Amino acid sequence: MTISIRPALPADVRAINALVEPMTHTGILLGKDLVSYYEAVQEFLVAVDDSGEVVGCGALHVMWEDLAEVRTLAVHDSQRSTGLGHRMLVALLERATQLGLSRVFCLTFEVEFFARHGFEVMAEVVEPEIYNQLLRSPDEGIAEFLDLARVKPNTLGNTRMIWTLPSGD
């Protein structure tokens, strides 16, 4: 079976939701309304098998001029341990590089997976001017990046990690 990765289409949104929804029950991913997926469809990549079924997804959400977040990275149970998660993440990091971004954030329980891809536990803080700008955003992912108290219930047990474009690229 061949799996291809491509930009998501609005027609893929219900399949993305169906893929992610079971993971929201275990707390691995946060649930979203369908409208949120439609609004962000241009941020998503999907992995599609030969029959056209969506078996993986992931999004890259731009947060600042040099910073984005990997969101909603998920693969179907049938694709676990096949390398598809790796392929999806690499494609999202390539997209970040194409956009001229040098840092990618994630909030995850899968620390080892992201560490294998060069992510490190986040200790950095952004400059005060950028912090004040980011505070104005209603986006929950930015609140998680800033480690704001109001999102603590959503982030319990998760690790904030950051990937920095290797120098020379």
Express each pLDDT in 115-125 by its tens digit: 999 999 987 66
The mean pLDDT of 7-25, rounded to a whole number, is: 95
In a domain, 142, yes or no: yes
Return the higher-pLDDT residue of 137 and 163. Answer: 163
For residue 72 the two structure tokens come to 């909603």
Unique residue bearing structure tokens 């990937």: 163
Tell me the CATH number at 69: 3.40.630.30
In a domain, 169, yes or no: no
pLDDT for position 12: 98
Domain that holds residue 100: 3-164
The pLDDT tens digits for 45-74 are 999 999 999 999 999 999 999 999 999 999
Q: Quote the number of domains for the chain.
A: 1
pTM for this one?
0.86
| Whole-number CA gyration radius for the chain | 16
